[in-house]
Amino acid sequence: MCGTTNTRVHSKVRDTLSSMTESAQAASRQEQKGRTRQAILAAALELAQRQGFAQISLRQVARHAGIVPTAFYRHFDSMDELGLALVEQSFSTLRRMIREAQRDPKVFDNIIDAAADVLVEAVKQSKAHFAFVARERVGGSEAVRRAIRHELDLFVSELAVVLARLPNIENWATEDVQMVSRLFVRNMVSNAEEVVEMPDGRPDLEERIKDGARRQMRLIVVGFRDWYPAEARSSPLDPDAR
């Protein structure tokens, strides 16, 4: 009665992903499993963008990923676990970008513009992940919220280390560096929110947001410079603060 041909029926995300790997057909078991897992993650991410992760259902995700609801459990124990996986994925993307940017010598010349560039570029490239983090940071389930908060705290500390290495900052009090870092990250989150909420076909606004982010970072830095009035005049932090 049942017993359909199984593998590769109607599917949205899964087919797309499969066709991306040109030499596709050699589907070793775990490769295929990984692919379906990615399909689930992608489906959840896309659906979450419209309605928020907390209000999408397991069945919706499964439908969008091209699998039957019960198959979901082969990959995640619950929607909460899916959410945590998405948090992890989002931050690993973000961290990779920061690490790459760190190699760029431009950072030493002009942190602010570099940071603004990285921010806008990163958000543009993986908008969905940023949207996810921005939204679920306050709107998600307890577990997801906690995970994001933790990751953001880690990120603040990492950025503080980077900042502390810059000339003219190395003699700041650690807690002040930490505070600047926290403000930068907060600023990043705010601007990510703005990009996310941005009407779809208006890339002109992007430049405005980027400019705003730059000005705000400069503001933070100028404010802080006043706390270290003596030597911090020609810091790389504000090469041309108007």
Partner DNA sequence: AAGTTCAGTGAACGTGCGTACACTCAAAGT
Partner DNA sequence: ACTTTGAGTGTACGCACGTTCACTGAACTT
Residues of the shown chain interacting with a copy of itself in the complex, contacts defined by CB under 8 A: 52, 54-55, 134-140, 145, 149, 179, 183, 186, 190, 193, 197, 215-216, 218-224, 226-227, 241-242
Contact partner, 129, from DNA, a copy of itself, none, Cβ < 5-8 Å per class: none
Minimum CB separation of residue 166 from DNA in Å reads: 47
Q: Are the CB atoms for 109 and 117 separated by under 8 Å?
A: no
Contact partner, 3, from a copy of itself, DNA, none, Cβ < 5-8 Å per class: DNA
Structure token pair of residue 176: 């002040």
Residue type, 100: E
Contact partner, 23, from DNA, a copy of itself, none, Cβ < 5-8 Å per class: none
Q: Give 37 or 182: the residue with its C-beta nearer to a copy of itself.
A: 182
Structure token pair of residue 93: 């993307």
Minimum CB separation of residue 190 from a copy of itself in Å reads: 6
**What is the distance of C-alpha 94 from the center of its chain?**
5
Which residues 6+ apart lie within 8 Å of 41 measured at CB? 82, 85, 86, 89
Q: Is the dihedral of CA 216, 217, 222, 226 positive or negative?
A: positive
Minimum CB separation of residue 176 from a copy of itself in Å reads: 10
Minimum CB separation of residue 197 from a copy of itself in Å reads: 7
Which residues 6+ apart lie within 8 Å of 165 measured at CB? none
